[in-house]
Structure 1
Amino acid sequence: MTAERVLRLLALLQRRASWTATELAAELHVTDRSIRRDVERLRSLGYPVHATGGVGGGYQLGAGTRLPPLLLDDEEAIATAVSLRLASAGTVAGAGEAALRALAKLDQVMPPRLRAEVRAVHGATETLIGPGVEIDADVLMTLACACRDAVRVRFLYSDTERTVEPVRLVTTGRRWYLMAWDADRDDWRTFRLDRMRTVEATTWRFRPREHPDPAAFVQRAVAEAPYRHVARVRLRAAAQEVRERVPPQVGRVEDDRDGWCVLVAAADRLDVIAVHVARLGYEAQVLDPPELRTAATELASRLAALAG
């Protein structure tokens, strides 16, 4: 018995209300005995296949006859259900509703013991996701396929037509970005998906070139490039500890020596960076710019006057 035949049997049972064993055997080119074994296999997977005897009897698929097969082990089924729960609060237009529909279908075809475990996870979980910008699902799929197939993409960005060689999609959880080689500017660029218009994949294939790490490249572009000031501050703390407290879109943490790390953060005002560093609560040393020391001193004076 093969998994492929079991899937074909399930598809036949979904096609119409009732089949005899002889009819199923003829469709699958196997014996009646093989059909009985395959039916037992479906039942062991949690599918309610009912059998009736006598004239006009046969096999019928119970509740969930229009649903796709669930050939997942326990860990895979739970992981899928939890992932769908998270996707239902995502930032892709229409994906939240689709995830809820898929979750409902998954719940119907799960064996009772797995259904109980998944509902326990859902019942004990709350999702806190800040407001994000929705993107068009078609745009996401077009860009993903273009990355996979190595074809150029054209789109409008700030009312300017751009032609790029896409490499990777990167998400911060609230926004989606595309890292790509900008053919017109002859350099790597980062683009926000929600700002793209009239996105279309061309038929022009390109040879992938060496590129920076997409996640690091996008993080640097998001956390530093748009701002007037970029600061580097040494902190007496383990790099991983600081990374857990500083979101990637807020700052970049570099490893240093002797129990220190370096935080790279950006803002339009230096006193904003000073406040951010002070709130972390670590011993700090300003590396650059020197003006950050002045901004921190002035901020400390204002706070002291407020306290006095």
Structure 2
Amino acid sequence: MTQDLPARMLRLLSLLQTRRTWTGDELAGRLGVTLRTIRRDIDRLRTLGYPVQGTTGTAGGYRLTSGADLPPLLLDDEEAVAIAVALRTAAAGVAGIEETAVRALAKLEQVLPVRLRHQVAAIQTAASPLPVPWSSGPATAPSALAVLAAACRDHESVTFTYRTSTGETGQRRAEPCGLVAAAPVWYLVAYDTGLEEWRLFRVDRLSEAAPTGHRFTPRALPAPNAAAYVAQRLAAAPARYTFQAVVEGGADTVRARTWSLPGRVQPLDDDTSMLRLAGDDPGRIAAQLLGIDLGAEDTVRGTPGLAPHLEQLGQRLLRAARALARQDPHSVGER
């Protein structure tokens, strides 16, 4: 069915698959044709069985709807390989996604042309995910992610039951803005219409998510994007332990070596940065400090209760260093 479609119509179909709604003028501009040509191509897609629906409004528009007779999804070479890579390295933190991803990858391989099948096979053979300790944590239901993602895309409010960190549960109604994966936890950034404020919801604590059918006009998020909002909120969250110091190294280097959120590290100049760590796990804070050089002692501030944990880790490392030094009489430790 699709092999007779001209290249322009394939491109048109690809555009319709990437966004919920397009105006005729937007499609014409993307394809470099007239609005009349767009209407003619849309009519031909409908004739071929693609359910392209016209939308009402000032400018009008088009969208590709779902249905029992929807023809096969069209992907270009790069999109097909990208999906295969994503399926092979399924995101952590999503319950049961590994087995589902393998089944989906097998189906994708069956319909790929030979030239792409070899590429995907090579990826499948060579690539494998490595479970790492810092990415383990609560699992999120794929069904919840699917409902919330669609609501974010369509600007549709949702309702759900939410369990707070203290164990309290209650019904929420919210206008979703975006989903953020902060391995392994998934967060929903949304405007809580009951509390009338922006909130951060952990998706693993969320259940019975359902669309309401009510569309909303997106509000201005108090951050450049959803990921930045999550970073800001996590950085500002109250914590049992805090640590602050001037450290050697540029901000990007310090942030990478301490696995810190962007807001935790501020550049002072090209060679020094201000580091602010916080958390309820003193061992993690101690470990974060291992990869950096602290500046002057008089710049160090924080929770006094953190000191024994830092000293404990330091003593462990010192004992390990001495044990290694005893194995080599010419090592620095024995001089």
Please give the residue correspondences for 1:90-129 in structure 2 after superposition, counting only pairs within 5 Å.
Answer: 90-129=92-131
Residues 1:81 and 2:88 are matched in the alignment:
no
Secondary structure of the 2:130 match is coil
1:91-139 deviation per Cα after TM superposition (whole angstroms, max 9, x unaligned): 3345333321221122223333433333223322221134343322222
Shift of 1:190: 0.6
Secondary structure of the 2:122 match is helix
Letter in 1 for 2:81: I
Q: Which residue of 2 aligns with 1:145?
A: 150
Q: Which residue of 1 aligns with 2:68?
A: none
> Is there any run of 5+ residues in structure 1 with no aligned partner, and where?
8-66
The separation in 2 between residues aligned to 1:160 and 1:287, in whole angstroms, is 47
The separation in 1 between residues aligned to 2:194 and 2:145, in whole angstroms, is 22
Please give the residue correspondences for 1:186-205 in structure 2 after superposition, counting only pairs within 5 Å.
Answer: 186-205=196-215
Identify if the C-alpha distance between structure 1 residues 253 and 126 changes in structure 2 by more than 3 Å, giving closer, same or farther: farther
The separation in 1 between residues aligned to 2:280 and 2:146, in whole angstroms, is 35
Identify if the C-alpha distance between structure 1 residues 188 and 99 changes in structure 2 by more than 3 Å, giving closer, same or farther: same
Choose from 73, 76, 86 the match for 1:72.
Answer: 76
> Percent same amino acid at aligned positions?
37
Decide whether the 8 Å contact of 1:274 with 1:292 is kept in 2. Answer: no
Identify if the C-alpha distance between structure 1 residues 288 and 188 changes in structure 2 by more than 3 Å, giving closer, same or farther: farther
Shift of 1:203: 3.4
Q: Which residue of 1 aligns with 2:181?
A: 171
Secondary structure of the 1:152 match is strand
Decide whether the 8 Å contact of 2:172 with 2:192 is kept in 1. Answer: yes
Shift of 1:6: 10
Secondary structure of the 2:86 match is helix
The separation in 1 between residues aligned to 2:295 and 2:304, in whole angstroms, is 11
The separation in 1 between residues aligned to 2:154 and 2:139, in whole angstroms, is 25
Secondary structure of the 1:254 match is strand
Choose from 216, 222, 225 the match for 2:237.
Answer: 225
Please give the residue correspondences for 1:1-308 in structure 2 after superposition, counting only pairs within 5 Å.
Answer: 1-3=4-6, 68=72, 71-73=75-77, 75-87=78-90, 90-129=92-131, 130-158=135-163, 159-211=169-221, 212=223, 213-222=225-234, 224-225=236-237, 227-247=239-259, 252-268=264-280, 272=283, 275-284=286-295, 290-292=301-303, 295-296=306-307, 299-300=310-311, 303=314, 307=319
Shift of 1:82: 1.2
The separation in 2 between residues aligned to 1:246 and 1:184, in whole angstroms, is 38
Secondary structure of the 1:162 match is strand
Secondary structure of the 2:237 match is coil
Decide whether the 8 Å contact of 1:251 with 1:263 is kept in 2. Answer: no
Secondary structure of the 1:245 match is helix
RMSD: 3.7
What number of residue pairs does the alignment pair up?
A: 246
Shift of 1:301: 8.4
The separation in 2 between residues aligned to 1:200 and 1:272, in whole angstroms, is 39
Shift of 1:154: 1.9
Decide whether the 8 Å contact of 2:89 with 2:128 is kept in 1. Answer: no
Letter in 2 for 1:217: Y
Letter in 2 for 1:80: I
The separation in 1 between residues aligned to 2:197 and 2:297, in whole angstroms, is 32
Q: TM-score, normalised by structure 1?
A: 0.65
Decide whether the 8 Å contact of 1:146 with 1:153 is kept in 2. Answer: yes
Shift of 1:240: 2.0
Secondary structure of the 1:227 match is coil
The separation in 2 between residues aligned to 1:252 and 1:191, in whole angstroms, is 21
Q: Which residue of 2 aligns with 1:58?
A: none
Letter in 2 for 1:188: W
Letter in 1 for 2:190: A
The separation in 2 between residues aligned to 1:242 and 1:302, in whole angstroms, is 20
The separation in 2 between residues aligned to 1:79 and 1:69, in whole angstroms, is 15
Q: TM-score, normalised by structure 2?
A: 0.60
Letter in 2 for 1:278: L
Shift of 1:225: 1.4
Shift of 1:167: 0.9
The separation in 2 between residues aligned to 1:69 and 1:298, in whole angstroms, is 55
Letter in 1 for 2:280: D
